[in-house]
Structure 1
Amino acid sequence: MKAVHFGAGNIGRGFIGKVLADAQVNVTFADVNEPLIDQLSHAQSYTVKVVGNDCHLDTVSHITAVNAAGPDVIDQIVQTDLITTAVGPAVLDKIARTIAEGLTKRFASGNQQPLNIIACENMVRGTTHLKAEVYKHLSPADQALADDYVGFVDSAVDRIVPPADAANDDPLEVTVESFSEWIVDQQQFKGDIPAIAGMETTNDLMAFVERKLFTLNTGHIMTAYLGALRGYETIRDAIEDNDIRAQVRNAMRESGEVLIRRYGFDRDQHNAYIEKILTRFANPFLRDEIDRVGRQPIRKLGSNDRLIKPLLGTIEYGTPNQTLITGIAAALKYVNPSDPQAIELQNTLREKGVCQTLAQYTGLDAGSDAARRIEQCYQALS
C-alpha cells in the first residue's frame, strides 16, 4: 500500500507518518522544506523518541520524500492509495490545488482505483473542508469522478508532539508521547477500509472529535493561559502547580458534562480519561512550552474552538461553567510579543474593551451574561 503524506514536520513524522510506516505502508512525505526533504530522501528512515513511563527509540522506514511544490508529488498522487495531511488548518487551502491537480492527472490516466484522503488536523471536519477546497479546482467531470472514486474521510487525532532539539545532531529525530489516538469516520471511505494498526474507525466521529476538543484541547489551553499568568514556561511546570491542576481538572469536568449529556459517555470512564490527560501534561520527558500551546489566541477563542464551544454547550444544558469562564478571561490576558494574534488581541482589548472584543472574536453577544462574567473575571485576574 502507498500513501502520500503532506507535512514532514514533527507531527507528520512523529504521528501519522510513523503510524503508516509501522503498518508497512510505503510513505512519501510531501513538504516545501527543501533541506528536510533532501535529508528524508537520502536517509529513507528516521528516529522517533517515544516517551511515556519510560523512553525508547523507534526507527521509521518505508519512507521517501518529494517537494510539495514540484511535479513529483502530482505523479505520486496518480498512483497512491491514500493521502494524509498534517500541515495545520491554515495550509489545507494551499495544498488543495496540488491535490486537485493530482486527481485530474490520475483520472486522465484512467486510474479509477479507490483513493481515500484524510486530513489529520486540529480542526472539526477538516477533511470535509479540504474536499470543498479541492473541488474548487476540479472540472465538473472530475468532480463526478471524485464523487465515485475518492473518499474524503474526516478524523480526530490526538498526540502531543512538541518541538524538540534533535539529539546526537540528528535533524530528523522527533520526540512524541507514547499515547496516540487516530479515529476516522468509517462511513466516508471508498473501497475497502485499510487495516492500519493505530487507526480506529467509528460511525459516530463527532462524539470523539468533541471529546478530544473539549478535553485534551480545552485542558491544554487552560494550562497554558493559567500558567502564563503565573510566569511558567512549560505545560509541565504549570500543571504541577496544584491550583492550576485543580482548575484545569474542573474545566475539563465542566466541558465533560456537556459530552456526557450530548453523547452519553460513561461518567466514570470520562473522568478517568480526564485524569489520563492530566498525567500526559505532566510527562517529565516532554518540554512543551506554554507559548507553543498558547499561540494564536484569536483562533483558539473562535466559536467552534476549545474554549467557547464547550462554554456554549454548558449554556445549552444549563450546567456549571465558572472555570471555563476563568480560562477565557485568562486567554484575554495572554501576552506574547512574537505572536501577531496575541498582539492584535491586546490592541483590540485596549480599543474596545472586554465585551466588544469577545463579540468580535468569539461571537458571544457583548451584552450577554457570559460576556459580563468573563469581563468580571478578567478584571479580577492578575
Structure 2
Amino acid sequence: MSFPRGKILNNNIVIWGAGKIGRGFIGDLFYRAGYQITFIDADKKLTETLGAQGFYTVYNLRSEADQEKKLIDRFSILHFEERIKVQAALNSTQLMAVVVFPPAFEDTAKRIAEHIEERRLRKDAPPLDIILCANIHHPEPGFRKLIDSFLSEEGEKYLRQNVGIAESLIIRMAVEPTDEMKKEDPFVVMTNGYKLLTVDKKALKNNPPDIEGIRLTERIASEEIRKMYTYNMVHAVYAYLGKLKNYTTVMESINDKAVQSAALGALEEVSRALQKEYNFTEQEMNRWNQEVLENMANPILRDTINRVGGDPKRKLQNKDRLIGPAMLCRKNGIMPYYLTIAIACGYMFTNPEDSSSVEIQDYLKTYDIKNAVRRYSDIHYEVDLIQQISEKFIKLKKHGLDWIKKEEPVINAVKNAYERGFSNELNIRGCAQCAIRALGEATGKVEKGLFQAASGLSGGIAIIGDGSCGGYTGGVLYMGSYAGRRLDYLDDGDKIAQYKSYEMSQKLHDRFMETYWSVTCSEIHKQIFGKAYSLRTKAVRNDFEEAGGHLDKCTTVIAMASSWVMELLMEEGFILK
C-alpha cells in the first residue's frame, strides 16, 4: 500500500527525549492539539517514576501578566530498552520528535535505524517525519549520516525516500522551577512560554501537522542561523558579562547599563550582518530583535548565569553563538567590537562545577588567550579577530566592564573607520589609497593629494609584495597630515611635529606587529592566506582573488588599519571624542 503525501492516519507522536524541552515544549504543544504522546527516554528512573505518576505540570510564564499552569496527563513513557513496546509505538505513528542533546545523537540514531530497518519491511508503513529539536547549527546532515551508518543499503534507500528529517527552531526556554513547584510535582517544567515551533517544511514527507503553534518555513537554514546568532548570542552576552560582574541571574545583567550596552551593540552588529548575508529586511530584524529582548527580560524566570553560560567550550566553538556572529560580521565588513567583548568574557567564565569552564581556565594558566582562541574556537587565519579578542581580554582583566559605556563615542568612530576601510578595499582596491580614502570619509578631512600620491604603494609597493603593507603606509601618510613635519616650519626643524609623527607611526607599527607579526605585505599574506602573493602577473592576481583577497582578507587588513589610525587620532586629540 502506498501513501501519498498528506495522508495523515492518526494523531500520535513519539517524542524521543523526555527532558525539559521534550516535556515542556514539544509535549505541551502536541498535548494541546489532542495528540496521543509517547515519550521514549534513556533515563530508566525517569521513565518508571513519571510513568507511575501519570502526569506532569508545565508553567508557561511569559510575563507577570501572562502566566499559565498546564497539567499534561495524556501520554505514555517508555525506556528505550523496551524494544518491543518502542517498536510498536513507532509503528503506530507518522510523526516523531527527537529532543536530545548532541552527545546522545549517535545512540539515538542507532535505535531509530533499527526501527527503520523493521519499518521498511512493512508494506503498509506510511512515511515517517522526524522533527529534529536540537539547539545547534544545522544538525540534520550529521544526524542523517549517523542513521545512515547503521543501515543496510536497502535501509539507506528507504531513509532517503520515506523518512523526512526536519530541523526546527527551539526558542522556548526551560529553567529551574521553584522549590514549591517541585514539591508539588517533581516533574514540573517552568518555561518562558514561547508559543511557536518553526519547522522546515521542505524536509517533510507527509503534510505537516495542522495545529496551533507549528510555523512552517522554507528557509530554515537562514532562520536557524538568525535564531542562534541573536537569541543564543544575546543570552551568552548576558551570562558571560554578568559573570564578570559577579551576578547570579540574567536579570541582574539586563539591568546593568554596561552589560546592556554591550548586548545591544552585539545585537546591532550581527543584525546588520544577517541582513547583508541572508536578505532579512531591516524591518524584519527590528521586529525580531524586539522580540528577542522582550523574551530575555522576563523577571519571573530567574534564569541563572551559570546555567546560561555553562559549557563555554561548546559555546565558544567556531560556528556557535558568539564566534559564528563575529565571523559573519567580519565577512560582511562589520567590526564585531561588542561581540569580541562577549567572546573575551566567555574565555573568562569560571564555574568550578562546570568541567568545560575548568578545562579552559586550566589551559589559560599555561597558554595565552590567542592560543586558547585557536584551540577552542578553531580560528587560525582570521588573525585580526584573534587580536580583537585578545585586546578585549587584556582590557577586561585590567578594567572590568565599566569603560564600555564611557567609550561609546570612540567605539562608534573606530567601527565607522573599520567599515569604510573594508568597503573601500572591497570596491575600489589599492590598499594604501583605500586606507586614506576611508579615513577621509570617516573624519571629514579628505586628502586628495595624499590619495593620488599613494597610488604606487599598493600590494607591498608596486604590487610586488616585498614592501610595506599599504594599510600601514597609507595610515602613516594620513596621520602625517595631522602630525607631520611641515615645510613652512623648517627654520626651527618642526621637531615636535616630526617626533609626534614618529611616535604615532610606531604605535601603528606595533598594532600591525601584534596582529600580523609584520608590516610587510608578503609576511602579512602568510598570516592571512598561508602563503604570499606577488601580484605582478594577472595569473597570480586571479589566484589571489580566488583565495578571497578582496572578500575577507586584505579588506579586513585595511579595515583594521583604518580603525587603528582613527583610534590613534582620537587618542592624541586630533579628533574630538
TM range (shorter): over 0.9
- How do 1:1-382 residues align onto structure 2 when only pairs under 5 Å count? 1-53=11-63, 54-71=66-83, 72-165=85-178, 166-365=181-380, 368-382=383-397
* Residues 123-170 of structure 1: per-residue CA shift (max 9 Å, x gap): 122233211111111110111122221111122221111122434431
SS state at 1:306 partner: coil
* Residues 98-122 of structure 1: per-residue CA shift (max 9 Å, x gap): 1111112222343430100111010
**Does the aligned pair in 2 maintain the 1:128–1:152 contact within 8 Å?**
no
* Structure 1 residue 314: Cα displacement: 0.8
* Residues 149-197 of structure 1: per-residue CA shift (max 9 Å, x gap): 1111122221111122434431122111122432111111113222132
**Does the aligned pair in 2 maintain the 1:359–1:366 contact within 8 Å?**
no
Radius of gyration: which is bigger? Answer: 2
- For CA contacts below 8 A with separation 6 or more, give which structure has more relative contact order: 1
* Structure 1: 4+ residue segments shifted above 4 A: none
Question: Matched residues in 2 for 1:123 and 1:227: separation?
Answer: 23
* Structure 1 residue 369: Cα displacement: 1.3
**Does the aligned pair in 2 maintain the 1:79–1:106 contact within 8 Å?**
no
**Does the aligned pair in 2 maintain the 1:125–1:155 contact within 8 Å?**
no
Question: Matched residues in 1 for 2:377 and 2:195: separation?
Answer: 30
Question: Matched residues in 2 for 1:233 and 1:373: separation?
Answer: 27
TM-score, normalised to structure 1's length? 0.95
SS state at 1:283 partner: coil
CA pair 324-254 structure 1, distance change in 2 beyond 3 A: same
Question: Matched residues in 1 for 2:201 and 2:49: separation?
Answer: 35
* Structure 1 residue 237: Cα displacement: 1.6
Q: Which runs of 5+ in 2 are unaligned?
A: 1-10, 398-577
SS state at 1:381 partner: helix
* Structure 1 residue 366: Cα displacement: 6.9
Give % identity: 28
Question: Matched residues in 1 for 2:315 and 2:184: separation?
Answer: 34
* Structure 1 residue 245: Cα displacement: 1.3
Question: Matched residues in 1 for 2:35 and 2:142: separation?
Answer: 26
CA pair 77-239 structure 1, distance change in 2 beyond 3 A: same
SS state at 1:358 partner: helix
Question: Matched residues in 1 for 2:14 and 2:82: separation?
Answer: 14
**Does the aligned pair in 1 maintain the 2:91–2:125 contact within 8 Å?**
no
* Residues 301-354 of structure 1: per-residue CA shift (max 9 Å, x gap): 111100111111111111131000100100010111111111111122222211
**Does the aligned pair in 2 maintain the 1:77–1:103 contact within 8 Å?**
no
- The amino acid across from 1:259 in the alignment is L
CA pair 276-202 structure 1, distance change in 2 beyond 3 A: closer
- The amino acid across from 2:396 in the alignment is L
More strand by share: 1
Question: Matched residues in 2 for 1:167 and 1:253: separation?
Answer: 39
* Structure 1 residue 29: Cα displacement: 0.7
- The amino acid across from 1:116 in the alignment is D
* Structure 1 residue 35: Cα displacement: 3.0
* Structure 1 residue 92: Cα displacement: 1.4
Question: Matched residues in 2 for 1:244 and 1:30: separation?
Answer: 41
- The amino acid across from 1:119 in the alignment is L
**Does the aligned pair in 2 maintain the 1:239–1:278 contact within 8 Å?**
no
Question: Matched residues in 2 for 1:11 and 1:135: separation?
Answer: 26
Question: Matched residues in 2 for 1:188 and 1:2: separation?
Answer: 19
Question: Matched residues in 2 for 1:206 and 1:97: separation?
Answer: 25
Moved more, 208-217 or 266-275: 266-275
* Structure 1 residue 359: Cα displacement: 0.9
Q: How many residues align?
A: 382
Question: Matched residues in 2 for 1:317 and 1:82: separation?
Answer: 40
Question: Matched residues in 1 for 2:335 and 2:381: separation?
Answer: 20
SS state at 1:57 partner: strand
Question: Matched residues in 2 for 1:364 and 1:145: separation?
Answer: 39
Q: Which residue of 1 aligns with 2:529?
A: none
**Does the aligned pair in 2 maintain the 1:128–1:154 contact within 8 Å?**
no
RMSD: 1.6
SS state at 2:97 partner: strand
* Residues 196-219 of structure 1: per-residue CA shift (max 9 Å, x gap): 321111111112101101110000
Q: Which runs of 5+ in 1 are unaligned?
A: none
Question: Matched residues in 2 for 1:330 and 1:133: separation?
Answer: 35
TM-score, normalised to structure 2's length? 0.64
